[in-house]
Amino acid sequence: MSGGWKGSTRRQRLPSNWASEIRPAAHARNPEHICHLCGQPGGDYLDHKNPGDDHSPDNLDWAHDRVPPHCHRFKSSREGLAARPKRNRTPEEHPGLL
């Protein structure tokens, strides 16, 4: 099998029914995967709105991670700041980016 995940640390422990039940249920609730951070469809990542082990449907919603505009990456790196992208994209530097 593929072993490309070695060395990556997972911030959250996903329950055993994550892929079989939780993700499909979240998909059924939000079939367009509307991103809870920017409000646009196409989110590829099922995000925990409140970080932790709360896997209840209310705490899970989709976000853009590997696809633009990468809302979840901004949330992760700027948690606590205003993480919501503005309606209009303004070309500005990201001072917190490493």
Report the residue from 22, 26, 33, 37 that binds Zn ion according to the rule CB under 5 A: 37
DSSP H or E stretch at residue 26: helix 23-29
Compute φ and ψ for 25, nearest 5 degrees.
Answer: -65, -40
Asked if 38 touches Zn ion (CB under 5 A), the answer is yes
**Cβ 83 to Zn ion shortest distance, Å:** 10
Asked if 26 touches Zn ion (CB under 5 A), the answer is no
Residue 54: closest CA among 21, 8, 10, 14: 14
Asked if 46 touches Zn ion (CB under 5 A), the answer is no
Stretch in the footprint of Zn ion (CB under 5 A) among 23-31, 54-62, 64-72, 86-94 = 64-72
Listed in sequence order, the residues at least 6 apart from 89 whose beta carbon sits closer than 8 Å to its beta carbon are: 69
Residues of the shown chain interacting with Zn ion in the complex, contacts defined by CB under 5 A:
35, 37-38, 64, 71
